[in-house]
Amino acid sequence: MKVWLGLDVGSTTTKAVCLDESGRMVAHGVRPTGISGETTAKDLSKELLASLGVVAPIRIVATGYGRARIEEADKAVTEITCHGRGVSFLHPEARTVIDIGGQDSKAIRLAAGGQVEDFAMNDRCAAGTGAFLDVIARRLGMTLDELSAALGDACAEVGPLPVSSTCVVFAESEVVGLLAQGHAPARIAAGIHQAIARRTVTLIRQVKGEPPYYFSGGVARNQAMRAALANELGEPVVCAEHPQLCGALGAALVARALDGLA
Ligand code: ADP
């Protein structure tokens, strides 16, 4: 069996996707990046290849925050290209990709053929990213699943509680204050989702994003975030298939393209 490997070494998680000769996804995995992205990527690749009975892939393409450190890679490619490519492979109709990961968020406008036409990125500040949600969930004593599930009921009548701080550190203190005043954790969580959605919509407007909107990255797994974004945009936001793997899939597609394969 011939395999092309895409690695997405993110700040929070490392993802790997293996495509076979026909372009089918034959193996994939996600694990926490931990202290060494290189070691994690190596271990995850070894595990996936072993599960397929393959000794070495034909080519490796790396993307993500830690892509430059993957020595085995034939090429390193930006996450913008890879998320655009991965999402448009799965959803050729996508025109705008919203990618929110652990430490950054992006809006990517695609041309009709799936090429990146424009993008905007926030990688300076944790507000508007998964890390923000992780910190607040911990502070509210909820898991990410509980955080996203709690919102629907709590906010049906009273709406989100606005959180005004734009910085994670200040927002965390604000949340502590709101809890002390007796506000319901779910309403506070809804306010946080609304704040992140508003920041993301600013990025989308910067690139003149148009529907259909597709959501990739780990945070796309959060249904409350999908709903908050749709609410702010006034348009449906579709969760990409395998949202957390789209970058690694895009990298694997670039790996195939190096050998002239679509
Ligand atoms: P990166 O590529 O930057 O390492 P990911 O795209 O893997 O990041 O996204 C990581 C983020 O995804 C986490 O910070 C977390 O907020 C979010 N996430 C991961 N799994 C889930 C889940 N099951 N439900 C909600 N959010 C999730």
Distance from CA of residue 210 to its chain's centroid?
A: 19
Q: Which residues line ligand 1 (CB under 6 A)?
A: 10-13, 64, 101-103, 130-131, 133-134, 144-145, 148, 217-219, 221-222, 244
Closest listed residue to residue 130, CA positions, set 120, 144, 109, 149? 144
Q: Phi/psi class of residue 23: alpha, beta or left (left: φ > 0; alpha: ψ in -120 to 50)? A: left
Helices (DSSP H) in 126-167: which residue ranges? 130-140, 144-158
* Closest ligand 1 atom, residue 148 Cα: 25
DSSP state of 221: G
Residue 240: how many other CB atoms lie within 10 Å? 24
- Residue 123's pLDDT is what? 83
Q: 206 pLDDT exceeds 60?
A: yes
- Residue 170's pLDDT is what? 84
User: Backbone phi, then psi, for 242, in 5-degree steps?
Assistant: 45, 60
Pairing of strands 4-9, 105-110: unpaired
3-state secondary structure at position 72: coil
Question: What average pLDDT does the segment 76-90 reach?
Answer: 97
Mutate which of 98, 151, 222, 239 for ligand 1? The one with the most ligand atoms within 8 Å of its CB, which is: 222
Question: What average pLDDT does the segment 58-71 reach?
Answer: 97
Pairing of strands 237-239, 213-216: parallel
Residue 84: how many other CB atoms lie within 10 Å? 28
* Closest ligand 1 atom, residue 104 Cα: 3
Q: What is the pLDDT of residues 99-156, one digit of tens each?
A: 999 999 999 999 988 899 999 999 888 888 999 999 989 988 889 888 887 766 555 5
Terminal CA-CA length for the chain: 18
Distance from CA of residue 149 to its chain's centroid?
A: 19
Question: What average pLDDT does the segment 191-199 reach?
Answer: 90
Ligand 1 atom 19, closest CA: 218
Residue 41 · residue 13 · CB < 8 Å: no
What percentage of residues in the chain have a pLDDT greater than 70?
97
* Closest ligand 1 atom, residue 99 Cα: 6
- Residue 28's pLDDT is what? 98
* Closest ligand 1 atom, residue 14 Cα: 4
Q: What is the pLDDT of residues 14-49, one digit of tens each?
A: 999 999 999 999 999 999 999 999 999 999 999 999
Mutate which of 12, 98, 226, 229 for ligand 1? The one with the most ligand atoms within 8 Å of its CB, which is: 12
Q: How far is CA 194 from CA 12, 99, 137, 166, 217, in A?
A: 23, 16, 15, 12, 18
Could you tell me the distance, in angstroms and rounded to a whole number, from the CA of residue 243 to the centre of ligand 1? 10
Could you tell me the distance, in angstroms and rounded to a whole number, from the CA of residue 102 to the centre of ligand 1? 6
Q: Which residues contact 35 (CB under 8 A, 6 or more apart)?
A: none
